[in-house]
Amino acid sequence: MKTYTICGSMRFKKQMKEIAYYLETAKEFNILQCVYCKENTIPTAKELARLKDSHYKKIDLSDGIYVVNINGYIGESVQEEIEYAKKRGKEIIYHCNREVPLNE
């Protein structure tokens, strides 16, 4: 079983949760997810830095990343995560054009 860190825009947090569940239950992936804060919560700069550091550590621990790019969208932060993963020789899987059922 391979371990992947899920990467994607927070605009897709609902889909990322569904995709992670599907990948673990149907595809036998081990998924490391990002941390989701409560609705209407705005993290401080210090909290954002800690979350970013934690997310990159998850990438370090993973075999690869699973990029949730709904309709092909990849934001600046996710592009940085892709580049980080590439530099470390991690496998990169893009969600777009994959058969993953979503409750949209």
Residue 46 placed within a domain: yes
The angle at the Cα of 77, spanning 44 to 93, to the nearest 5 degrees, equals 135
- For residue 31, what are the domain limits? 3-94
- pLDDT above 90 covers a percentage of the chain that reads 65
| pLDDT band, very low/low/confident/very high, at 31 (cuts 50, 70, 90) | very high
Report which of 87, 96, 89 is spatially closest to residue 7, judged by C-alpha positions. 96
Residue 81 placed within a domain: yes
Residue 104 placed within a domain: no
pLDDT tens string 39-52: 777 888 999 899 99
Q: How many domains does the chain have?
A: 1
Residue 103 placed within a domain: no
- pLDDT above 70 covers a percentage of the chain that reads 90
